[in-house]
């Protein structure tokens, strides 16, 4: 099974370790290697090897046709490498065949196996072998080398595989880190598994015979040890994996031998007792020989294990390659678990503990998985005390690992340690681990939920008989859960807590009967009832469990997308929804009646009906409970003015009042009755509020009642159409009065503004395809009038009014600019509205004053109000909402995209607070229009640069070292990073940035020929931050565009022109291009003629010389021009022009006018440079030096 070069038998004898320049045939899976037997003991032995090895003739076409019949198909004979690639079915039989071949001629078979390991390393060279005949260790060590031959470009590796000294020869490109074990795809993943399986099968087949012949294992171990010391990653990785799997297989053999030895020992003792006092029998002698044989084999196996461990593991477990380290940790965990008597001690455990600190997550993960296998067995835990005490703190800290999988497995390991190691985890450790139930990564949170449930919630539940009847166990668990929730002080994360426990405590979390019974208990009558704080926590838990059961997916922020439920999960979900409906439709009215005065509890309880199964509500025996629920909601609306309660009540009516369900008429009647009472109350208050003299009532009680009523109406108007009650005129009167007199209380203005906004939205929604034109004009006037009122309120004296008006105005403009009135184009034309320039300026001024306020003003504002941390967070949330509303106008083209330039100025300055909003705006605008988005970015930088230049002394120019200039440059760098790694995708945008930047930099240059220094030349330093995002062809095109502004390159010298030099260097892609381009400016001379002959000679050998600056600087500028022109013209003009034509089509705004005219010709010249005149040469002068990469 070893590929041999063609006509190998006819070659003369070679010198030891000589390199044979022969062609090696390729196998279907991979290029084969070849094994040449060097100096064997005698010529006769060498001839015998060549005659018996079937693979000698594999290179000939005739021998390739050797085949066998399997399952009715003809399968071609393959090497061991190809057998492993084929799969496990062929592997078993081939290993058996190999063992038989080894028994016939072990040299040939062993060489096949050696060649197999070399091939699995991806080696595309060949292997030569010579017999080891020297008795001196010094001679052997001289042969153990790894060198590189510069003349041939080949790498050599010499090592011992007793009784041979092998020489592996391979090309240098094998170091490109591409070999079977790291290749991607299902085929190579299967190959790795088959490779490991092959080694296990090989040891299994050899354990009864040739494993102990002191020849096979010595050769394999020395081979793998030698390869593991190689500097080539492929050899090192493959041999380490093979050695570790070999040791794993040998450990299994050791276990079997150990069992057989104990059985033989037991039989020997029984037989000896039976024959006590008698003479020795044949049976007893046979058992004694058998026992000694097992002892001898165990000793040999132990020596093999020690050789592999010391020769490979100890040198490779800290290899620089993380895959090798991970393999070592995975296998040592397997050894400890499989054979704890030999490996479960501190001498081996210390390596696992040390590698828990490895920098690579893969290695840490393998260590944790190995420890899980040990700590899961109670009989092994008692022997882990020293390791546990030494590395417990490290393991406890690993749930904080940056790699999610490592964190999850660390939590699972801690769960096993908690179960099997007694009190190894302290109370502080457990408190730290409990908090991971609030983690955003769901697998980690679920693992922490298991730890919390088994360690805290279910602890002691079965040992002590609970009180409270049938709910005793669930009640105790609920109380412990409530206590934990309150102690953690993370009240807003109850949904995360429930989701973490759902997989482990789903049974008692769905025990809503127990929960509601606990809530309805009276504290005075029953001492076990909950306190007020505990009741609030339990209601939040009930809502979270109902949501989890009804929706069936994790809460927002935990999980990328909604989980696709299986058929079984959907069935459970429907059953839970039915259970929720049947239980809470009876209990919820009682709970609402009990907690009707507590706004927080009522707001949470009123969210439960949205998870009802409405078809279940339609059954006859539940209608009376539905009436009770509607009565309680009506009473709650009358009692409360808190927006959370009112909005929850409004949404409950909206959920229950659907036309397609049977209870619609019942709920609609109750809703209409309640709104009638609200409007009647509002009308009465309006009659008292507006006085005859044109003023309003200033009584505090009347204002409070009006405020509460308007809030109720606004909450219901959000989800329900109240147009028939003519609410618009009533609320608009408040707004008009405020714009004219400006004396209304804020408590009246805010809900009135909200009600008016909702009224107009419902009218817009009612516009249909057949709406008459006469009805659209009044609506149009109302829309314009409301827009003017909101604009006026932007300058209101009260901050809350200003912010509310701004939010409504932004949403209002977004709606009006994107109307889709049921295909009624006439309605869209009449009602559509876009803000004018004045309004856009007002909107941005508002953002600048309320969001991007100066640091001193913000500090003053915070100091005056004495705000605490919670108030600061609320203010930040308001600012983010304002900025997001304005940025939506930019994204949806309501406001001109150039307005975003003012927002982008604050990207770096306010990155911690608003960076995500600004970045998302930039991304969305770029998606809408790449070119205009690029112009907006460059406009932002230009405005900042002009402001910086105006603040500087005009006589000294721009100060590059000033903080403001550094900030502009940093902003440009951040803008460049937003384009990502896909240069093709951002090609047009980056090119436009350079074009606009170059034009701005040379704007205002005085003189006819532009010899004077442009005032904005320093701007080139800023746009140089975008040069690394240009493709190489685009760099040449941008450089050509830059050349149009430099009429006399020799005049552009000195420190003042340094920005031009820096920017020009950023456009140069390599040294050759740099030489040619800088040479065109008269700065770097070309390569001299004395170097031409050496250049041609090296070029013929396949290498291109690099010209140093010192050599280039010793030549004359006149020679530079001639060399450049002749070099450029010597290229294929057709290819050069076709490339530039392609660039012109993609980036037409960068192509010079002359270039466009030249490409309009129908005929492209392709003559040699000698046949062209000087005019053609001058015509291509702007692209001289840009064809080196073509």
Q: Which residues, 6 or more positions from 869, have their beta carbon under 8 angstroms from its beta carbon? A: none
Cα–Cα distance for residue pair 676/634, rounded to 1 Å: 12
Determine the average pLDDT of the residues in 1070-1089. Answer: 39
- The pLDDT of 51-65, averaged and rounded, is 35
DSSP 19-82: PP----PBPSSSBPPBEEE-S-S-HHHHHHHHHH-GGGGTTSTTGGG-EEEETTEEEE---HHH
The pLDDT value recorded for residue 68 is: 38
* pLDDT tops 60 at residue 66: no
Helix, strand or coil for residue 213? Answer: coil
pLDDT at position 1016 is 87
Instruction: Tell me the CB-side half-sphere exposure of residue 727, using CA atoms within 13 A.
Output: 34
> What is the model's pLDDT at position 327?
96
pLDDT at 464 over 70: no
As a whole number of angstroms, the distance between CA 439 and CA 558 comes to 8
Average pLDDT over residues 697-711: 89
Q: Is the pLDDT of residue 955 over 90?
A: no
Look-up: residue for tokens 């466009």? 1156
Place of tokens 């190691």: 421
Q: What is the pLDDT of residues 787-810, one digit of tens each?
A: 999 999 999 999 999 999 999 999
Answer left, alpha or beta for residue 962, where phi above 0 means left and psi between -120 and 50 means alpha: beta
pLDDT average, residue stretch 465-485: 76
Q: What are phi and psi of 982, to 5 degrees?
A: -85, 95
Mean pLDDT of the chain: 78
Given pLDDT bands bounded at 50, 70 and 90, which one contains residue 768? low
| pLDDT score of 128 | 66
Q: What is the pLDDT at residue 255?
A: 92
Q: Are strands 126-131 and 35-37 parallel, antiparallel or unpaired?
A: parallel
Weakest-pLDDT range from 337-346, 522-531, 638-647, 1038-1047: 522-531
Separation between Cα atoms, residue 430 and residue 312, nearest integer Å: 40
pLDDT at position 50: 40
Mean pLDDT value across residues 992-1015: 77
Nearest to 520, CA basis, from 406, 462, 601? 601
Q: Exposed, middle or buried by CB within 10 Å (0-12, 13-18, 19+), for 878?
A: middle
The single-letter DSSP state of residue 173 is G
Q: Which of 17-21, 252-256, 819-823, 960-964 has the lowest mean pLDDT?
A: 17-21
| Of the ranges 100-109, 637-646, 681-690, the best mean pLDDT one | 637-646
CA dihedral 973, 977, 983, 985 (to 10 degrees): -120
Checking if the pLDDT of 834 tops 50, the result is: yes
Higher pLDDT, 718 or 1087: 718
Between the ranges 59-68, 79-88, 385-394, 457-466, where is the mean pLDDT highest?
385-394
Residue 561 pLDDT: 64
pLDDT digits (tens, 9 = 90+) for 138-184: 444 444 455 555 555 566 667 666 666 777 776 655 445 678 888 88
Percent of the chain surpassing pLDDT 70: 72
- List pLDDT tens digits, range 6-56: 333 332 333 333 333 332 333 333 333 344 333 334 444 444 434 443 333
Which of 892-901, 986-995, 1155-1164 shows the lowest per-residue confidence on average (mean pLDDT)?
A: 1155-1164
Q: Is the pLDDT of residue 1045 over 50?
A: yes
Mean pLDDT of 276-283: 66
Least confident of 62-66, 775-779, 821-825, 920-924: 62-66
For residue range 559-570, list pLDDT tens digits in order: 766 678 889 989
Q: What pLDDT does 1176 receive?
A: 36
So what's the pLDDT on residue 1149? 60
**pLDDT at residue 1071 tops 50:** no
Lowest-confidence segment of 459-473, 597-611, 1105-1119 by average pLDDT: 1105-1119
Eight-state DSSP code of residue 280? P
Res 1187: pLDDT: 36
1101 vs 531 pLDDT, higher one: 531
pLDDT at 858: 57
pLDDT digits over 192-241, tens only?
A: 888 999 999 999 988 888 888 888 898 899 989 988 988 888 889 999 99
CA dist., res. 479 & res. 519, Å (int) = 12
Higher pLDDT, 1104 or 915: 915
Q: How far apart are CA 329 and CA 323, in angstroms?
A: 10
* Band of residue 877 on the pLDDT scale cut at 50, 70, 90: very high
C-alpha distances out from residue 608 to 547, 576, 589, 651, Å: 8, 13, 12, 11
Coil vs helix vs strand at 267: helix
User: What confidence score (pLDDT) does residue 826 get?
Assistant: 66
Spatial separation of the C-alpha atoms in residues 1013 and 550, rounded to whole Å: 72
Taking the C-alpha atoms of residue 867 and residue 727, their distance in angstroms, rounded to an integer, is 38
pLDDT band at 72 (very low <50, low <70, confident <90, very high): very low
What is the mean predicted confidence (pLDDT) over 1124-1145? 42
Position 764 pLDDT exceeds 60 = yes
User: Average of pLDDT values for 1085-1113?
Assistant: 36
Strand 146-149, strand 154-161: pairing: antiparallel
| pLDDT score, position 1125 | 28
Long-range contacts of 549-555, Cβ-Cβ distance < 8 Å, separation of 24 or more: 549/510, 549/573, 549/576, 549/577, 549/580, 549/611, 550/576, 550/577, 550/580, 550/611, 551/611, 554/442, 554/499, 555/495, 555/496, 555/499
Determine the pLDDT at residue 640: 92
pLDDT tens per residue, range 246-256: 999 999 999 99
pLDDT tens by residue, 898-919: 999 999 999 999 999 999 999 9
Query: What single string gives the DSSP state of each residue in 663-713?
Result: THHHHHHHHHHHHHHHHHHHHHHHHHHB-TTS-B---HHHHHHHHHHHHHH
Partner residues linked to 165 by β-bridges: 130, 160
Rounded Cα distance between 370 and 352, Å, is 8
Which pLDDT belongs to residue 208?
A: 82
Tokens of 1112: 């280039």
Q: What percent of the chain has pLDDT over 90?
A: 44
- Which of 780-784, 820-824, 868-872, 1115-1119 is predicted least confidently? 1115-1119
Taking only the tens place, the pLDDT of each residue in 107-121 is 888 888 888 888 888
């Amino acid at each position: 099974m070893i590929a041999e070069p063609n006509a190998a038998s006819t070659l003369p004898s070679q010198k030891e370790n000589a390199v044979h320049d022969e062609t090696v045939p390729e196998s279907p899976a991979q290029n084969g290697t070849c094994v040449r037997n060097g100096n064997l003991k005698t010529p006769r032995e060498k001839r015998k090897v060549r005659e018996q090895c079937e693979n000698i003739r594999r290179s000939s076409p005739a021998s390739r046709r050797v085949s066998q019949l399997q399952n009715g198909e003809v399968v071609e004979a393959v090497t061991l490498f190809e057998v492993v690639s084929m799969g496990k079915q062929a592997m078993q039989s081939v290993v058996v065949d190999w063992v038989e071949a080894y028994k016939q001629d072990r040299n040939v078979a062993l060489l096949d196996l050696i060649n197999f390991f070399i091939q699995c390393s991806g080696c595309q060279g060949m292997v030569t072998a010579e017999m080891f005949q020297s008795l001196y260790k010094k001679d052997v060590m001289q042969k153990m080398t790894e060198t590189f031959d510069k003349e041939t470009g080949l790498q050599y590796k010499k090592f011992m595989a007793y009784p041979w000294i092998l020489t592996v020869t391979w090309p240098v490109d094998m170091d490109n880190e591409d070999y079977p074990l790291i290749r991607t795809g299902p085929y190579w993943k299967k190959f790795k598994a088959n490779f490991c399986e092959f080694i296990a099968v090989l040891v299994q087949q050899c354990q009864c015979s040739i494993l102990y012949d002191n020849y096979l294992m010595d050769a394999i171990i020395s081979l793998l040890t030698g390869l593991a010391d190689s500097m080539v990653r492929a050899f090192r990785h493959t041999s380490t994996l093979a050695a570790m799997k070999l040791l794993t297989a040998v450990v299994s053999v050791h276990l079997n031998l150990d069992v057989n030895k104990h059985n033989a020992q037991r039989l020997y003792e029984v037989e000896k007792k039976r024959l006590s006092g008698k003479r020795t029998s044949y049976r007893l002698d046979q058992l004694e020989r058998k026992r000694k044989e097992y002892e001898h084999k165990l000793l040999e196996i132990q020596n093999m294990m020690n050789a592999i461990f010391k020769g490979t593991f100890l040198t490779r477990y800290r290899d620089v390659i993380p895959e090798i380290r991970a393999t070592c940790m995975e296998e040592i965990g397997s050894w400890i678990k499989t054979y704890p008597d030999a490996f479960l001690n501190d001498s081996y455990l210390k390596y696992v503990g040390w590698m828990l600190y490895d920098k690579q997550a893969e290695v840490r993960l393998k260590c944790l998985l190995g420890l899980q296998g040990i700590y899961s067995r109670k009989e092994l835990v008692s022997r882990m005390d020293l390791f546990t005490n030494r590395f417990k703190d490290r393991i406890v800290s690993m749930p904080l690992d940056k790699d999610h999988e490592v964190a999850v497995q660390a939590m699972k390991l801690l769960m096993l340690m908690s179960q099997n190691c007694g009190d190894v985890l302290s109370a502080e450790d457990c408190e730290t681990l409990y908090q991971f139930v609030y983690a955003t990564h769901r697998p980690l949170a679920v693992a922490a939920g298991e730890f919390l449930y088994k360690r805290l919630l279910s602890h002691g539940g079965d040992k002590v008989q609970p009180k409270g009847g049938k709910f005793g166990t669930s009640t105790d668990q609920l109380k412990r859960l409530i206590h934990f929730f309150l102690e953690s002080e993370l009240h807003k994360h109850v949904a995360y807590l429930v989701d973490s426990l759902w997989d482990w405590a789903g049974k008692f979390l769905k025990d809503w009967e127990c929960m509601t019974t606990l809530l309805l208990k009276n504290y005075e009558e029953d001492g076990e009832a909950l306190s007020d704080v505990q009741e609030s926590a339990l209601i939040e838990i009930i809502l979270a469990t109902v949501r989890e059961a009804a929706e069936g997916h994790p809460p927002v922020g935990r999980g990328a997308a909604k989980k696709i439920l299986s058929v079984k999960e959907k069935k459970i979900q429907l059953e839970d929804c039915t259970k929720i409906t049947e239980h809470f439709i009876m209990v919820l009215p009682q709970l609402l009646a009990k907690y009707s005065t507590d706004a927080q509890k009522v707001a949470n309880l009123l969210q439960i009906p949205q998870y009802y199964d409405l078809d279940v509500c339609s059954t006859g025996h539940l209608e009376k409970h539905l009436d009770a629920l509607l009565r309680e909601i009506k009473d709650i609306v009358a009692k409360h003015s808190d927006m959370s309660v009112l909005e929850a009540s409004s949404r409950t009516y909206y959920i229950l009042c659907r036309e397609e369900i049977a209870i619609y008429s019942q709920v609609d009647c109750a809703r209409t009755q309640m709104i009638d009472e609200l409007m009647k109350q509002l009308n009465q208050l309006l009659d008292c509020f507006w006085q005859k003299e044109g003023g309003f009532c200033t009584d505090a009680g009347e204002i409070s009642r009006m405020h509460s009523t308007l809030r109720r109406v606004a909450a219901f108007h959000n989800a329900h159409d109240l147009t028939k009650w003519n609410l618009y005129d009533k609320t608009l009167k408040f707004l008009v009065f405020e714009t004219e007199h400006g004396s209304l209380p804020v408590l009246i203005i805010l809900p009135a503004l909200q009600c008016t906004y909702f009224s107009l939205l419902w009218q817009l929604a009612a516009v249909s395809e057949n709406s008459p034109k006469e009805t659209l004009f009044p609506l149009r006037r109302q829309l314009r009038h409301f827009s003017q009122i909101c604009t006026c309120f932007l300058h209101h004296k009260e901050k809350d009014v200003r912010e509310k008006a701004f939010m409504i105005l932004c949403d209002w403009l977004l709606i009006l600019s994107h109307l889709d009135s049921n295909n009624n184009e006439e309605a869209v034309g009449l009602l559509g509205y876009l803000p004018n320039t004045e309004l856009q300026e007002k909107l941005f001024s508002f953002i600048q004053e309320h969001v991007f306020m100066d640091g001193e003003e913000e500090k003053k504002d915070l100091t005056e109000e004495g705000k605490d941390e919670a108030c600061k967070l609320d203010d930040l949330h308001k600012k983010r909402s304002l900025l997001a509303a304005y940025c939506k106008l930019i994204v949806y083209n309501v406001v001109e995209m150039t307005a975003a330039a003012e927002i982008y100025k604050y990207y770096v300055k306010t990155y911690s607070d608003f960076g995500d909003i600004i970045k998302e705006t930039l991304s969305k605008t770029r998606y809408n229009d790449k070119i205009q988005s690029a112009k907006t970015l460059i406009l932002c930088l230009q405005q900042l640069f002009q402001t910086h230049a105006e603040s500087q002394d005009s006589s000294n120019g721009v100060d590059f070292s000033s903080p403001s200039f550094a900030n502009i440059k940093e902003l440009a760098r951040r803008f460049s990073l937003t384009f990502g790694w896909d240069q093709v995708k951002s090609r047009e945008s980056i090119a436009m940035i350079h074009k606009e930047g170059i034009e701005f930099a040379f704007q205002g240059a005085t003189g006819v020929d532009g010899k004077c220094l442009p005032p904005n030349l320093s701007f080139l330093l800023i746009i140089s931050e975008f040069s690394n995002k240009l493709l190489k062809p685009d760099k040449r095109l941008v450089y050509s565009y830059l050349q149009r502004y430099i009429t006399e390159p020799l005049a552009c010298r000195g420190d003042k022109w340094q920005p031009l030099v820096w920017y020009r260097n950023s456009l140069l892609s390599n040294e050759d291009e740099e030489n040619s381009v800088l040479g065109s400016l008269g700065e770097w001379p070309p390569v001299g003629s004395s170097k031409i002959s050496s250049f041609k000679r090296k070029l013929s050998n396949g290498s291109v010389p690099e010209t140093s600056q010192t050599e280039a600087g010793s030549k004359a500028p006149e020679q530079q021009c001639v060399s450049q022109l002749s070099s450029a013209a010597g290229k294929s003009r057709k290819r050069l022009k076709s490339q530039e034509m392609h660039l012109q089509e993609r980036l037409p705004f960068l192509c010079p006018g002359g270039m466009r005219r030249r490409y309009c010709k129908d005929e492209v010249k392709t003559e040699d440079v000698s046949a062209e005149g000087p005019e053609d040469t001058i015509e291509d002068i702007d692209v001289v030096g840009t064809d080196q990469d073509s």
